[in-house]
Amino acid sequence: MDSNKGIVATSEILAAFQSKIEAKTAQVGIIGLGYVGLPLALLFTHNGFAVLGFDLDLSKVATLQRGESYIRHISGTVIAEQIQQKRLMATTDFSQLRRMDAILICVPTPLDRHREPDLSFVRNTVEVIASHLRRGQLVVLESTTYPGTTEEVVLPILERSGLRCPISPYRTNGLEITAGEKQEADFLLAFSPEREDPGNKQFQTQQVPKILGGVNASSARAAQTLYACAFERTQLVSSARAAEMTKILENTYRCVNIALVNELKLLCLRMGIDIWEVIEAAKTKPFGFTAFYPGPGLGGHCIPIDPFYLTWKAREYEFPTRFIELAGEINSAMPEHVVASVVNAMNQRKQCLQDARVLVLGIAYKKDIDDARESPSLRIMELLEAGGARVDYHDPYFPRLPKMRKYDFDLESVEPTPEALAEYDVVVIATDHSSFDYPAIVKHARLVIDTRNATHAVQEHREKIVRC
């Protein structure tokens, strides 16, 4: 750990950092090699930087060192090429952080069992960084979190090293810093929210504008210099807090609108109206309407979690966020609605859930990806088992269900052959993977609960389908 032998002018640190970035001699370290960190690492290697990825997961590091991929939509060939060229390396040795010029943090920010922010991954990571921090480094937090985390949590931990990075206001026009106080610091610190959308083939990582906010002007400039080398567009905001709020707004917007359409779906079911038909009709309006779709609940690493980070932080300011909390309640209750629909449909056929055989189709939180984080399918399976059902699943992206933070089913994927489908009392379509043969599913299953409108084009045996 460096002792503090006098503060170096930030202008000198910034100039030295920018010089390394422009020459592409800067060493980029990325902590957390998951759905956010690995694509980011590859993006920087493709743009000429040497990247060292850090992760506690030995299997991930070993897989990358072999030139293989553990994320389905990332090609092993691409990884192998970068490994062979020594552009990309992976390690569990966090002492190597001292060699890095830029350190990007891409670790999980889940909720605890009380639905409050769990920043343990961030805190633990930053404590490790602090133990190896040296002058001139840029540290960027990318993990989604509540406004104030970078300044109130990350900065104090880093400054335990004896090095300093003062918070200082600055102004920006979005493209460049227009005004800022002169400050002196030992290192640079910024927040830049990840905006990954796994499986989205329309937008690649580099095409999504990168939001950047620093704890001071020099930190923001340094972050912009770095990310501008890899992203097609960067957008500066006036603080790390503004950047943190930007990501929370994006995901809260989606959460609230999905909750609205989920609530309308429940109303339409009672009124005998097809919500999917209504949405398609509303989409014809060329202005003032954006389509959102109902489902069995929210999944993924952002939308089910991020709004609760904001509501938690709002309590510090004695500000009630009733609108956001209501949206969270509606979305969180959707798996219960699905299971209630299963029970009602079985009751109408003079069957009960106890000892019924149920096949859940789709474990991923959305179609055509291998990501089950916060998937509503898992909660649906848990509720079905609690009701006495014998539950199996099928998902081509999950041959076996791994042990997760909240679930441990110890199940293997069942192939949905005609014979297998006919053995189940109920088949629940929880994720609408493109690979599923929906006409065959409906033909051979006894009863189909469709939570995604996946069977809308199926013409035969529609009496077996219950949309919920």
Quickly list DSSP for 385-452: HHTT-EEEEE-TT-SBPPP-SS-----BPPP--HHHHHH-SEEEE-S--TT--HHHHHHH-S-EEESS
Of the listed 106, 165, 255, 302, which one is catalytic? 302
pLDDT the model gives residue 179: 75
β-sheet bridge partners, residue 111: 117
d(CA 218, CA 165): 10
d(CA 242, CA 146): 10
Binned at pLDDT 50, 70 and 90, residue 11 comes out as confident
pLDDT the model gives residue 182: 65
| 33-90 tens-digit pLDDT | 999 999 999 999 999 999 999 999 999 999 999 999 999 889 999 999 999 999 999 9
Residue 274 has pLDDT above 90, yes or no: yes
pLDDT the model gives residue 430: 98
pLDDT the model gives residue 9: 56
Average of per-residue pLDDT across 143-153: 97
pLDDT the model gives residue 353: 96
User: Which pTM does this prediction carry?
Assistant: 0.90
| 213-241 tens-digit pLDDT | 999 999 999 999 999 999 999 999 999 99
What letters, b where the CB count within 10 A reaches 16 and e where it falls short, cover 93-117? ebeebbebbbbbbbbbbbbeeeeeb
Give percent helix, percent strand, percent coil of the chain, each to the nearest 5. 40, 15, 45
Average of per-residue pLDDT across 106-132: 94
What letters, b where the CB count within 10 A reaches 16 and e where it falls short, cover 61-74? bebbeebebbbeee
d(CA 353, CA 351): 7
Binned at pLDDT 50, 70 and 90, residue 183 comes out as low
Please work out, in degrees rounded to the nearest 5, the angle formed at the alpha carbon of residue 280 by the alpha carbons of 275 and 282: 90
pLDDT the model gives residue 113: 80
Phi first, then psi: what are they for 55, rounded to 5°?
A: -155, 145
| 243-254 tens-digit pLDDT | 999 999 999 999
Report whether 449 contacts 427 (CB < 8 A). Answer: yes
Q: What are the chain's domains?
A: 10-238 (3.40.50.720), 333-467 (3.40.50.720)
Per the model's pLDDT, the better-predicted residue between 198 and 447 turns out to be 447
Binned at pLDDT 50, 70 and 90, residue 118 comes out as very high
Report whether 421 contacts 356 (CB < 8 A). Answer: no
- Residue 302 among the catalytic residues: yes
Q: Give the lowest-confidence range in 102-111, 112-121, 280-289, 430-439.
A: 112-121
Average pLDDT, the chain: 93
pLDDT the model gives residue 87: 94
Residue 3 has pLDDT above 60, yes or no: no
Binned at pLDDT 50, 70 and 90, residue 6 comes out as very low
pLDDT the model gives residue 101: 98
